[in-house]
Amino acid sequence: MHKLIPAVVCLLLLIFCLAACRDTSMKLNHPKNIRGVISYKRSFGDLNDLHLSSAKRIGIAPISSRSEIESLKGNLVHIEDNDYYVLDSLKHSLPYLIPRASDLLTSIGSNFLDSLDAKGLNPHKIIITSVLRTLDDVRQLRRGNRNASENSAHFYGTTFDVSYCRFRKIEDDRPMQNVGSDTLKMVLSEVLRDLRKAETCYVKYELKQGCFHITAR
């Protein structure tokens, strides 16, 4: 019996060491100062009329089909995956925005990363789920979703949707702890609240679509 005691102690020490090594090799989160907003619906309740008013004032004229995009490329910025955001499949939209909206999108992604770092959370990129739509795109979209608006701010190159359910982890050389989407959503809401307060954008919280609908001002 006495001979078993040193063996058990050694085994426990080995388990402890392995756990310690695993912990030090993992990129840890130390969340702090995460407050979010009081209510997503109340904080981001800018209605479609506000989005449309801004879109019509600063955006392009709506285009009927995707073949017309070539003639407008001088007025639009082609957006693609970068250090701040990634694009979803974009089945019903095109990756183009007017320069002001493109700059806004970059600011959101950059501010989000800065905020995650300041709050002790692992870096993540936002995911863009919808951008510029043509009239044909909306007609096709409405075949499967009758709630899709026929009078959309997405027509003008001023508007994009950012998912609050999904984010893209930025991997590094060490394993990463997972950060819940609810936590990331809270941090993103703080970023959008500040930009909206600075009057750079309108924001609508889309519950069914799982996104923030954002239009440059």
Interval 3-39: pLDDT, tens: 545 554 454 454 444 444 444 455 678 778 899 999 9
Asked if residue 17 is part of any domain, the answer here is no
Q: What is the pLDDT of residues 49-106, one digit of tens each?
A: 999 999 999 999 999 999 999 888 889 999 999 999 999 999 899 999 999 999 999 9
Where do runs of H (alpha helix) occur along the chain? Answer: 4-25, 40-43, 48-58, 99-118, 135-144, 181-197
Average pLDDT, rounded, for the chain: 87
Asked if residue 172 is part of any domain, the answer here is yes
Asked if residue 46 is part of any domain, the answer here is yes
Q: How many CA atoms lie within 13 A of 84 on its CB side?
A: 17
Q: The domain spanning residue 99 has which CATH number?
A: 3.30.1380
Asked if residue 18 is part of any domain, the answer here is no
Asked if residue 109 is part of any domain, the answer here is yes
**Long-range contacts of range 105-112, CB-CB < 8 Å, 24 or more positions apart?**
105/79, 105/160, 106/82, 107/195, 107/200, 108/84, 108/162, 108/188, 108/191, 108/192, 108/195, 108/214, 109/82, 109/83, 109/84, 109/85, 110/84, 111/191, 111/194, 111/195, 112/84, 112/187, 112/188, 112/191
C-alpha 54/C-alpha 142 separation (Å) is 24
C-alpha 177/C-alpha 22 separation (Å) is 12
Instruction: Count the domains in the chain.
Output: 1
